[in-house]
Structure 1
Amino acid sequence: MPDRLRVDVAGRTLELSNLDKVLYPATGFTKGEVIDYYTRVAPVLLPHLAGRALTRIRFPNGVNGSSFFEKNAPAATPSWVHTETLPVPGSAKGRETIDYVVADELPTLVWLANLAALELHTPQWQIGAHPDLMVVDLDPGAPAELRQCCQVALLLRDRLADDGIESYPKTSGKKGMQLCCPIAGTQAADAVSGYARRVAQELERAHPKLIVSKMTRKLRAGKIFIDWSQNSAAKTTVAPYSLRAQSVPAVSTPLTWAEVAAGAAGKRPAVKPYPATEVLTRIAEQGDLLAPLLDGGPELPG
């Protein structure tokens, strides 16, 4: 394969490079396969990215090499890429604004994949709006693992349902899980984070041997940390269908509640870090399990 290849993607001309470069050495998964995955998953991925400031984690030399977070649009960003200049909450570098990339069309997604932007992370709100999602991260402290995450996910689902909040599970693509909840988009991030924290603390009191709501790492051994802080204005969460930088090209994968229940009961492989090829098969069979997130939801209790 040539080192550089000019292609037309939905009316945009892109120059792709080093398509044979292996980005996942353990499996031989190449940059060309990364681009192919993101192209094929785009119909279900792009609606979850549209309108949101995108943070990327780039791995130019593969998952075993060095990586870097990238919020600012890189040098030589094509003029047709949608960018938005936004204030930076909690910037460690003292920046007042950043020119964020907004991935709302296939050519942008392919362009990012060609830059080895393997991981795609978004905030819980669209640009210029209040949060329209509440996301709760379930992080297992060893020896706890995905089985215990599933058990906590079921408890959290039922507690949120008491307040009329629907929740939709996905794997993180690494060791944990997230629950995503569509909300009204009328409340500030602090209110959303505060509600998630209250629920996490309530479940910790009810299940102290299984759940911890405090961020102190030494408290997490053998428990599931309910990370309510994902809703902070300075936080982002890995997008559904994003690749992760693991030994295999694992994906943050939407789940059914039946799969979560099976995972909680210890039935394997009901829940696992799903690889890209299996995720594409799941989408062909199930569609986008997180499509309800795009329809909005209720206000959270005060």
Structure 2
Amino acid sequence: MKLSTREALNGYLFFSPGLIGFLIFMGFPILFSLYLSFTSYNIYSAPKWIGLLNYKFMFTQDPLFFKSLGNTLYYVALSVPLNTVLGVLVAILMNQKVFGIRVFRTIFFLPSVVSGVAVALLWQWILDGNFGLINTFLANFGITGPGWLTEELWAKPSMVLMNLWAVGGTMIIYLAGLQGVPRSLYEAATVDGAGRLRQFWNITIPMLTPTIFFNVIMGVLGGFQVFIQAYIMTGGGPNNATMFYALYLYNKAFKDLQMGYASALAWVLLIIAMVLTLIIMKTSSRWVYYEGSDQK
């Protein structure tokens, strides 16, 4: 047996446990959910094939489908840009060479590793309309704060505000990107007379675009999966203002036991996420700069 063939067989042998595990625990459920999306299934009885009726009902008769999708798109459209801007700014602050900077980095990063349920309960108290930290603070200045979680106007912005709590997770990635920028570029720009602001726009941002590209995609995908905040804090209210897509899917699957319809919702979500991801990737050539390449 040739050495290359033996090495290939050894590679497949070592890779096989992971592949088998993926096929059994992920591949099969994914394909089975596709089948279920064309059926009426309530767990207690066998799936009944109904063709495209789930999808027809979704797009023509289910108002909560568009409501939940709109809520989710609103959340993604606000949270991703805000998280990106704040993440970059915090990363720049954490990239300074000052005493105790590692302590500050740890402080900013810690909220991103706290349990999602614990964070939701904490923010439920912070945003409480009567006794919450924010409204209590505003009351000291004679300002009556809104019902952050009980008023339809403020419910979704409250979720976006809460999302900024975990900005430390993206901050760490941006910090790694910043530390990968060659110092020689800043030194050359300084010699040419470029100020801090010009260096930021012409060096820092272009060199960070691959990192921004990665975080934007991850932020969009994560935004479409927002669930814990609404489930714990509002249950989808008020008036379905925080009925996000993942929460609606969960309700259909585990409260209404409409597993077939929930599977159809899941596949529509997958397609929407894939389309948005492909759009971002296709447009990346216009704004993402890779060192050593003319792509921009």
Q: Shorter-normalised TM-score: what interval?
A: under 0.3
Q: What's the TM-score, normalizing by structure 1?
A: 0.24
Q: More strand by proportion, 1 or 2?
A: 1
Q: More helix by proportion, 1 or 2?
A: 2
Q: What's the TM-score, normalizing by structure 2?
A: 0.24
Which of these two proteins has the greater Rg computed from alpha carbons?
2
Q: Which has the higher contact order (CA 8 A, sep 6+)?
A: 2
